[in-house]
Amino acid sequence: MPVYSISHVENVRVCVVMVGLPARGKSLIAQKIVRYLSWLSIKSKCFNVGTYRRDLQKAADIGNITADFFDPNNPDGMHFRRQAIDLALQDMMNWFLDENGVVGILDATNSTRDRRNRIVKVLRENLIEPIFLESFCNDQDLVLQNILDVKTTSPDYVGSDLQFATEDFLKRIELYEKNYETMDVSIDANLTFIKLVNVNSQIILNRIESYLESRIVYYVMNLHIKPRSIYLSRHGESEYNLTGQIGGDSNLSERGWRYAKKLPELVLKSLGEENKHTNLTVWTSTLARTQQTSSFLPYKRKLQWKALDELDAGECDGMTYEEIENQFPEDFKARDDNKYEYRYRGGESYRDIVIRLEPIIMELERQENILIITHQAVLRCLYAYFMNVPQEESPWMSIPLHTLIKLEPRAYHTVVSRIKADIPAVSTYKEKGTSQLGEQNNSTSSKSRDIINNSDIVP
Ligand SMILES: O=P(O)(O)OC[C@H]1O[C@@](CO)(OP(=O)(O)O)[C@@H](O)[C@@H]1O
């Protein structure tokens, strides 16, 4: 049975129009929405108007600009900015049409009602639903932090010194403030909008109607910008891993227990001296091997999630890849041909896992420091969300046993580090297109399982 995505069910096309002064985290929110929706197989793309504006400047041979360019009384600046928005909108309309886009994001300040009305007109003419997403922020500390985090590294300030970039940017904000018109329920009553006040200390919603809109609302409501670390680990090597059997609910092997015992030390070392008292929340699946792996961790908040259980292999549960290839050769091939979509007889596909992980992602966005101990397939899906790995690649990523992965989300990327426990383990990785036959008489020493801890995450 096919799994339909939200866009199939509703047949809607939406443009999220960002609103807000510079340095309010709009681009960050826009990119996160694209990543989240793409992970859910909803075709989405961000159109950053600043990039269009810079391309126009380049074409006109105008070098770096200063704040005066953004003065509403500067006709040249206004001309470029207007052209840039028109080009971005044009590209977006083509994308909706030619590439069956579902959610386009218009990333710009869109800070006046006049500009917003013009955008609405274009969108409505093209049968695209506008949803405004304003990031309103009057907390000066947050604004300054944002300027330091990202704006001073912006392409507009290449080669400029930090103090000049900061001062010039503050001046640019002041110029925008002159004409800024925030979204207002009494004036913009007919528009669909989400207004986030100081990240999400207050959220104002107006006319949220479709299911897709409500997913976007729910997602942005859960975002926070506090620095944090997300640790991911597979369970320690299990008895089934040793015999090459998939699924099941087996216990850890002797080496798996060694990993479980070493895990607290690996986490502490990675947290570093100054953060050694950080209280981590620990999530596991409901299966014995993940809980055994968590059993030596000194943290009080431990939660089991059914949604973190391994891919359900249905009729193949408990079999080795060799046995599957022997008994169900067509299935074995079909899985190799399209591993993301292939659903085990009576079991699940990778796409099914992503759907059941959605609430986990929502909750994960709300969390601060966390350690998740789960399984190969589930970990691939979680990793794909954070690192924006395309669907067709994610089921083929190699995620070795006995390796702790640390993710540190930053404004525009996530920093990844891998901490190896230095405890040998079998490799459970099966390469695409490789037959397992001929190895069936010696399942514990199959070629793929001999490789000990020498693979890293790809890509
Ligand atoms: O999708 P593939 O690559 O088969 O990987 C998923 C498989 O990984 C395994 C190990 O081979 O997970 P687990 O980490 O729980 O031991 C199997 O149980 C599961 O079916």
Segment 79-93, tens digit of pLDDT: 999 999 999 999 999
- Does the C-beta of 395 come closer than 6 Å to ligand 1? yes
Dist. CA 262 → ligand 1 center (Å): 22
Res 48 pLDDT > 80: yes
- Structural domain containing residue 96: 11-220
Domain boundary among 199, 220, 241: 220
| pTM of this structure | 0.89
- What is residue 402's DSSP assignment? S
Res 223 pLDDT > 50: yes
SS3 315: helix
> Mean pLDDT, to the nearest integer, of 304-323?
98
State residue 459's pLDDT score. 35
Percent of the chain's residues with pLDDT above 70: 92
| pLDDT tens per residue across span 436-452 | 886 544 333 333 433 34
Residues 208, 287, single domain; the answer is no
State residue 10's pLDDT score. 60
| Sheet containing 44-48: order of strands | 44-48, 103-107, 14-19, 129-136, 193-197, 202-206
Residues 211, 235, single domain; the answer is no
Residue 73 contacts by C-beta under 8 Å, 6 or more apart in sequence? Answer: none
State residue 314's pLDDT score. 98
Residues 278, 185, single domain; the answer is no
| Predicted interface score ipTM higher than 0.90 | no
Dist. CA 37 → ligand 1 center (Å): 26
H/E run at residue 17: strand 14-19
- Does the C-beta of 130 come closer than 6 Å to ligand 1? no
Do the domain assignments include residue 456?
Answer: no
Do the domain assignments include residue 459?
Answer: no
State residue 458's pLDDT score. 38
> Mean pLDDT, to the nearest integer, of 203-225?
93
More confident site: 408 or 450 = 408
Is position 134 annotated as part of the catalytic site?
no
Do the domain assignments include residue 6?
Answer: no
We report the CATH number of the domain holding residue 279 as 3.40.50.1240
Catalytic-role residue among 134, 188, 213, 235: 235
> Mean pLDDT, to the nearest integer, of 173-180?
95
Mean pLDDT computed over every residue of the chain: 91
* Two tokens, residue 38: 């793409």
State residue 441's pLDDT score. 41
Number of neighbours of residue 240 by Cβ within 10 angstroms: 19
We report the CATH number of the domain holding residue 77 as 3.40.50.300
Number of neighbours of residue 211 by Cβ within 10 angstroms: 12
Domain boundary among 169, 192, 220: 220
DSSP β-bridge partners for residue 372: 232, 283
Residues 183, 275, single domain; the answer is no
Residue 391 contacts by C-beta under 8 Å, 6 or more apart in sequence? Answer: 41, 340, 350, 351, 384
As for how many domains the chain has, the answer is 2
Residues 139, 288, single domain; the answer is no
229-239 per-residue burial string, b: 16 or more CB within 10 A, e: under 16: bbbbbbbbbbe
Do the domain assignments include residue 365?
Answer: yes
Residues 215, 236, single domain; the answer is no
Residues 338, 383, single domain; the answer is yes
pLDDT level of residue 4 (50, 70, 90 thresholds):
very low
State residue 440's pLDDT score. 44
- Does the C-beta of 428 come closer than 6 Å to ligand 1? yes
Pick the closest to residue 386 from 171, 195, 230, 200 (CA basis).
Answer: 230
pLDDT level of residue 238 (50, 70, 90 thresholds):
very high
State residue 199's pLDDT score. 87
Are 248 and 240 in contact by the 8 Å Cβ rule? The answer is yes
SS3 194: strand
Do the domain assignments include residue 4?
Answer: no
Number of neighbours of residue 458 by Cβ within 10 angstroms: 11
Are 173 and 64 in contact by the 8 Å Cβ rule? The answer is no
More confident site: 453 or 329 = 329
State residue 228's pLDDT score. 92
Q: Where does residue 87 fall: left (phi above 0), alpha (psi -120 to 50 degrees), or beta otherwise?
A: alpha
Residues 97, 241, single domain; the answer is no
Residue among 245, 376, 402 whose CB has most ligand 1 atoms within 8 A, to mutate: 376
Residues 174, 199, single domain; the answer is yes
Do the domain assignments include residue 179?
Answer: yes
Res 221 pLDDT > 50: yes
Residues 197, 275, single domain; the answer is no
Alpha carbons 457 and 459: distance in angstroms, whole number = 6
Question: Which position has the token pair 């596909």?
Answer: 349
| pLDDT tens per residue across span 261-278 | 999 999 999 999 988 899
Number of neighbours of residue 389 by Cβ within 10 angstroms: 20
| pLDDT tens per residue across span 335-379 | 999 999 999 999 999 999 999 999 999 999 999 999 999 999 999
pLDDT level of residue 2 (50, 70, 90 thresholds):
low
Do the domain assignments include residue 99?
Answer: yes
Determine which residue's CA is closest to atom 17 belonging to ligand 1: 246
Pick the closest to residue 246 from 336, 325, 318, 344 (CA basis).
Answer: 318
Residues 330, 398, single domain; the answer is yes
Flag the least confident range among 138-142, 303-307, 378-382, 452-456.
Answer: 452-456
State residue 450's pLDDT score. 38
> Mean pLDDT, to the nearest integer, of 107-113?
97
Alpha carbons 351 and 358: distance in angstroms, whole number = 11
* Two tokens, residue 393: 């690649």
Dist. CA 38 → ligand 1 center (Å): 24
Q: Phi and psi at residue 407, in whole multiples of 5°?
A: -115, 130
Domain boundary among 220, 254, 277: 220
Are 244 and 425 in contact by the 8 Å Cβ rule? The answer is no
Do the domain assignments include residue 272?
Answer: yes
Pick the closest to residue 150 from 411, 413, 387 (CA basis).
Answer: 411
Percent of the chain's residues with pLDDT above 90: 79
Residues 212, 297, single domain; the answer is no
> Mean pLDDT, to the nearest integer, of 94-117?
97
Q: Determine the angle formed by the axes of helices 26-39 and 211-222, rounding to 10 degrees.
A: 120
SS3 328: coil
